[in-house]
Structure 1
Amino acid sequence: MLTGWLSRHWRRIALFGILNSALLVGCASAPPARVADREQPPTRKIQVHTVSSNETLYSIAWRYGLDFRELARHNGIGPPYTIYVSQQLRLDVNDASRRRPPPAIASRTQAPAAAPVSSPTSASRTPSRSTPTTPPASSSTRSENRTPANSTAEPPPMLSGPVKWRWPASGPVIAGFSSAGGLNKGIDIGGKLGEPVVAAASGNVVYAGSGLRGYGKLVIVKHNETYLSAYAHNRVLMVREGESVKAGQQIAELGSSGTDKEKLHFEIRRDGKPVNPLTFLPKR
């Protein structure tokens, strides 16, 4: 009796061990449950930008990767591209038709007849205008007392012919252009604090300030109706908006504003879109 019971008991233990081992092997060989990919929530496309002080049409177009001409035309703004604090600019340029606005719309954004309140950087360059006795009979009368975001006058005519590029700084390239996802819309050039930053080509300064997040102290130069260039993270800016600059002229001092490393971030935009500067700069 005892022998039979022990035999049956050990058989049950052995069977339990076999089943347990099979379960363990099955669990180990089974593929792990797939975890759903964590997708970032869709970014809401900004449709309207509210103008702040010291912004220019060029800096706003640069911020959103737009052609300044398209942005101006889309909002009925004509030369000298004066914009006003708290003015709302529609950014859906690529979603809209390319037709030009009627003349009545384009004309209402001309500089108002009332004396503008100039920004500190351009007060000495823009004369005040007298107020007419009879305001114009149009919807633009609402803007007569509005403050221009920047009262820089229209720069001189652009250069004709191809742009002749040169290096804006003498240091090595420490980060290249990346078109994938816009991770780096230009190149980063290493250097030491205070080293000269020069204009990569002749043109006119259309922005000089620190209002674009992530760029620090920034200079944007307009070379013609197609090309603009930008120089970011400077320590000191040596030019003001509206100034003409020559290729090789010092426009800033290399710094680390808006970043954690001393470097120059350099970009070239063609019709508002970033392009690889290394395809334009001469070989060293």
Structure 2
Amino acid sequence: MHLKYTSIILLATCVLSACSSRNAPAPVSSLDTERAKVSRKINIQGEHYRVQKGDTLYAIAFSAKKDVREVAQINGIKPPYTIYPNQLIYLESQWLKKKKREQYTNSSKKPRKIEQKPYKNVKKEVAKPIQREYVQKQASKKNVSKSVGSANKITWKWPTKGKITQGFSNRENGYKGLQIANKTGTSVLAAADGVVVYAGDALRGYGNLIIVKHNDDYLSAYAHNSRLLVKEKQDVKAGQKIAEMGNTESSITALRFEIRYRGKAVNPANFLP
């Protein structure tokens, strides 16, 4: 009889413990895992950005359309450009901000009355803007030749196979790369030798993204992948498979391929064979 009551008590205890475990809150570790699944994005608004866990200076500069060296110099960050969570990254120098403010203030002032000059001085006044325009064109030519010279040191390859469904546009809000469409899982290859400086999904509008640094001037970017096969700080060779094509943050299954020269997007078609 005593044994029977003991069995009943043990059974009741088991039932209660099972019920209580069913209603108990999830462990903190599992909650942290669920939070980690929520993807956060680099959202740059204004002239500075607060670093979050997982960010790299290359990703921040890429998102701001700036050269990483410029951003590093503004913030006094030396190579290898290590940054920390909650660090405030300025995207524009205080001197440049002051200069812009002064220009805006001066332009908002009422224009002064300009005294008419004799006809004999007109030739000199006309010559000055022509001379300035010539100097600006010459400087632009020098910048282009520097860009081409730096790119010539890189052996470029096509990053994937497929159909080009969208080309590069110089318009302000234009498409800043090539859209190459194919099926999900198509191999995405490194367009040139380099090192991976970003691999993740924190840049808004790019989905699963890889950024490869080729030299001090050039980066290439591979967006909307279904899978990333390389990690940050990993060396890659031209033609090496680094990802698989997908449609993350895109309405079409395609690779968005960009080349950046000192932070500015350039037409990849001018570099690819």
The normalised TM-score by structure 1 is 0.60
In the TM superposition, residue 62 of structure 1 has moved relative to its aligned partner by 0.2
Give CA-to-partner distance per residue, 1:147-189, whole Å, 9 cap, x none.
Answer: xxxxxxxxxxxx9971111100110110000110132111100
Equivalent residue, structure 2, for 1:252? 243
| d(CA) in 1 for partners of 2:96, 2:178 | 32
Equivalent residue, structure 1, for 2:50? 50
Q: Is the 8 A contact 2:151 2:218 kept in 1?
A: no
In the TM superposition, residue 78 of structure 1 has moved relative to its aligned partner by 0.4
Match for 1:191: what amino acid?
Answer: N
| d(CA) in 1 for partners of 2:206, 2:55 | 14
From the superposition, tell whether residues 94 and 215 of structure 1 become closer, same or farther in structure 2 (CA, over 3 Å): farther
Equivalent residue, structure 2, for 1:76? 76
Equivalent residue, structure 2, for 1:212? 203
Residues 1:164 and 2:155 are matched in the alignment: yes
2:212 to 211, 221, 239: 221
Give CA-to-partner distance per residue, 1:79-101, whole Å, 9 cap, x none.
Answer: 1111011111111149639xxxx
From the superposition, tell whether residues 233 and 160 of structure 1 become closer, same or farther in structure 2 (CA, over 3 Å): closer
Q: Is the 8 A contact 1:205 1:242 kept in 2?
A: yes
Three-state SS of the structure 2 residue aligned to 1:233 is: strand
Q: Is the 8 A contact 1:51 1:83 kept in 2?
A: yes
Equivalent residue, structure 2, for 1:66? 66
Give CA-to-partner distance per residue, 1:193-248, whole Å, 9 cap, x none.
Answer: 00100000000000000000100000000000000000000000000000000000
| d(CA) in 1 for partners of 2:243, 2:58 | 19
Equivalent residue, structure 1, for 2:232? 241
| d(CA) in 1 for partners of 2:200, 2:94 | 27
Match for 2:165: what amino acid?
Answer: I
In the TM superposition, residue 257 of structure 1 has moved relative to its aligned partner by 0.5
Aligned-residue RMSD, C-alpha: 2.0
| d(CA) in 2 for partners of 1:168, 1:215 | 16
Q: Is the 8 A contact 1:221 1:228 kept in 2?
A: yes
| d(CA) in 2 for partners of 1:182, 1:204 | 29
Equivalent residue, structure 1, for 2:271? 280
The runs of 5 or more residues in structure 1 that have no matched partner are: 1-43, 98-158
| d(CA) in 1 for partners of 2:70, 2:172 | 23
Query: Runs in 1 of length 4+ with deviation above 6 angstroms?
Result: none
Equivalent residue, structure 2, for 1:29? none
Match for 1:203: what amino acid?
Answer: G
Identity of aligned residues (%): 49
The runs of 5 or more residues in structure 2 that have no matched partner are: 1-43, 98-149
**1:1-284 map, 5 Å:** 46-93=46-93, 96=96, 162-282=153-273
Give CA-to-partner distance per residue, 1:97-140, whole Å, 9 cap, x none.
Answer: 9xxxxxxxxxxxxxxxxxxxxxxxxxxxxxxxxxxxxxxxxxxx
Q: Is the 8 A contact 2:151 2:271 kept in 1?
A: no
Three-state SS of the structure 2 residue aligned to 1:174 is: strand
In the TM superposition, residue 190 of structure 1 has moved relative to its aligned partner by 0.5
Q: Is the 8 A contact 1:70 1:93 kept in 2?
A: no
From the superposition, tell whether residues 94 and 274 of structure 1 become closer, same or farther in structure 2 (CA, over 3 Å): farther
The normalised TM-score by structure 2 is 0.63
Count residues in correspondence: 178
